[in-house]
Structure 1
Amino acid sequence: MPQAAVPDWQAVAHGSSYPGVGYTSPIPVVRTHLGHAISSEWTKIRSVRSTMWTLGVFVALVVGIGLLVAALVAANAGDESLQGENPLSFGVFGLLLGSICIITLGVLTTASEYGTGMIRTTMTACPTRGRVLAAKAIVFFAVAFTVTFASVLLVALADVSMLTDAREPSTAEWLKGTLGVSFYIALLGLLSLLIGSVIRHSAGAITIMIGVVLAPLVIALFMFSEALDGVRQALFEYSIPNQLSVFYSNSLSESGPSGWDPLWIALGVTAAAFAGAVALLDRRDV
């Protein structure tokens, strides 16, 4: 039988014993970079249902509780009781509960891929593991900060308009109570993402982060011994609830972090966690 003609793309190049040496792919080949990884992670985070659920509950808690507390205070507080109060501070109650949603989403952004095995596909597509983690961090931080800032700003504007007997916040208080606290919550979520990368287990990482948020304050409440006064004071001062209240000038303790200190503390801890997560990611199998 006559042999069929071999397609040109499988033809043996002149002077070569291997087929396909002279083939040129019609698909453009480009060097991958961080932008490709960011695009991939953005597609992931916006296409999974957990993102919409966690962010939806976050907005409901922050806006709902913030407006509810302000409405109750405006209806029941006297004119003199609100004098000197920062009206932005009533948004901290919803923000503390809503931070659990940001923590959950941060953990799921990394740990869920280990549970489903998707991480193998991710690392095959982008073998540079540090780039993958950086892309996840950038995308998540941008999403968490944007949603937090929009929610906090809405609550702040509503609280100021409802609590007319309270004093007018200064420019510094506006910045801390909206922009600063949004950065802090986004960094807390980013720390959760890194813990999820280290632990590689969603439930375990979420439990650890909830413990980081609530355990110091709860433990300090049950320290009655005078010998533990220093430890109890430190737990109060550096607990997450107290650091959140610092952004509204309502610290639970007379000493400890003040001003923008909580933001720098969160930034330092997150940077150290990122370095550790990258080191472990490069050394361990996926």
Structure 2
Amino acid sequence: MTTPATTVPAITAAITPARVLRSEWHKLWTVRSTWITVLASVAFLLGVGILMGATYTPDGGDSDVDTVILTLYGSQLGGICLAVLGILVTAGEYSTGMIRASLTAVPRRTPVLRAKAAVFTAVVFTVSFVTALITFLVAQIFLSDTDQAASLADDGVLGAIAGNAAGVTLLSVLALGLGAALRSVPGGIGAFIGGVMILPEVLGMLPYDAVDTAIRYFPTQAAGALGSATPLPNAASPGAALLALCLWAAAALIAPALLLKRRDV
């Protein structure tokens, strides 16, 4: 007869990173909210991009806007959808009680969070990049005879499209971390909208140069600097913005990882 002392190590040995990743992949795509939020994100980005391209006129006030930013305006709305998905991926499990089964199957706990973040990051970046690429190409059909005409071969264009996708992805990972830390879907959404989106705008009203400089490295501002083919005035450089955004996302994941070890489910 197998004793508990030998059963537990055997079960633990059977839990591999690949199996945890596969489990999180299946959980992500078997939830209806994933399909709804992903399709909504794609629809916002593609729809707004086509609208901007079809209605653009040189005298409409947008002639000085970077062409990638112009065609990917919809990423702001699409990014909110993906951020909500990130919160649902983590906090949603606490609201349904599914987290108990997940952490029972993986007793070490933190591999579950790492797998969620890895699967989510890969999915969001792929969806964001492919959608942004298609949106840019379709919008350029309408912009081909205007001063906003551009191609993927132009300097900085492809990098800006990839940067846009990276910005949306890292903001969504940050939201995933907030959901995991707060363990509440409404709380996570409120913290993301209030702390990540609104707080920098409020701080920007303060008449201090130091505050203006710091705000450049806040999540939403850093993400915006990544999606431009030309340098933006009063914005962080793409390299510094990417580093800042990676640090924000990492901090958002480290906090719930520590809490997982200290809290009961």
Return the TM-score normalized by structure 1. 0.79
Give yes or no for contact 2:219–2:248 (8 Å, CA) kept in 1: no
Identity of aligned pairs, percent? 31
Aligned to 2:89: 109
**Which residue of structure 1 lines up, in the alignment, with residue 141 of structure 2?**
161
The answer for the alignment partner of 1:270 in structure 2 is 249
Residues 208-227 of structure 1 mapped to structure 2, 5 A cutoff: 208-220=191-203, 223=205
CA distance in 1, matches of 2:76, 2:231: 14
Q: Partner of 1:77: helix, strand, or coil?
A: coil
User: 2:29 and 2:122 mapped to 1: Cα distance?
Assistant: 12
> Hey, what does 1:128 align to over in structure 2?
108
> In 2, are the aligned partners of 1:107 and 1:202 still within 8 Å (CA)?
yes
**1:39 aligned partner:** 22
Corresponding residue to 1:190 among 173, 178, 194 = 173
Does residue 41 of structure 2 align to residue 62 of structure 1?
no
Query: Does residue 77 of the first structure (1) align with residue 78 of the second (2)?
Result: no
Q: Structure 1 residues 215, 231: CA separation in 2 closer, same or farther (over 3 Å shift)?
A: farther
**For the Cα contact (< 8 Å) 2:173–2:249, is it kept in 1?**
yes
* 1:178 equivalent in alignment to 2:157: no
What is the CA–CA distance in structure 2 between the aligned matches of 1:249 and 1:243, rounded to whole Å?
14
Match of 1:9 in 2: none
Render the CA deviation track for 1:1-52: whole Å, top value 9, x for unaligned: xxxxxxxxxxxxxxxxxxx46xxxxxx9862211111111111110010001
Partner of 1:90: 70
User: How much has 1:236 moved relative to structure 2?
Assistant: 5.6
RMSD of aligned alpha carbons: 2.8
Q: Distance in 2 between matches of 1:198 and 1:220?
A: 24
Q: Which ranges in structure 2 are unaligned for 5 or more consecutive residues?
A: 3-9
Q: Is the 8 A contact 1:41 1:139 kept in 2?
A: yes
C-alpha distance in structure 2 between counterparts of 1:229 and 1:186, whole Å? 31
1:200 matched residue in structure 2: 183
The answer to whether the 8 Å contact 1:86/1:167 transfers is no
Distance 1:178 1:105 in 2: 22
1:213–1:240 contact (8 Å) kept in structure 2? yes
Q: 1:39 to 1:107 in 2, by over 3 A?
A: same
Task: Please state whether the residue corresponding to 1:255 is helix, strand or coil.
Answer: coil
Give the match for residue 50 of structure 1: 33
The Cα shift of 1:274 comes to: 2.0
Distance 2:156 2:223 in 1: 13
Report the TM-score when normalising by structure 2.
0.85
Which structure has the bigger radius of gyration? 1
Q: SS where residue 54 of structure 2 aligns?
A: helix
Superposition deviation, residue 167 in structure 1: 5.0
SS at match of 2:134: helix
Deviation (angstroms), 1:211 = 1.8
For this pair of structures, how many residues does the alignment match?
A: 254
Deviation at 1:150, TM superposition (A): 1.2
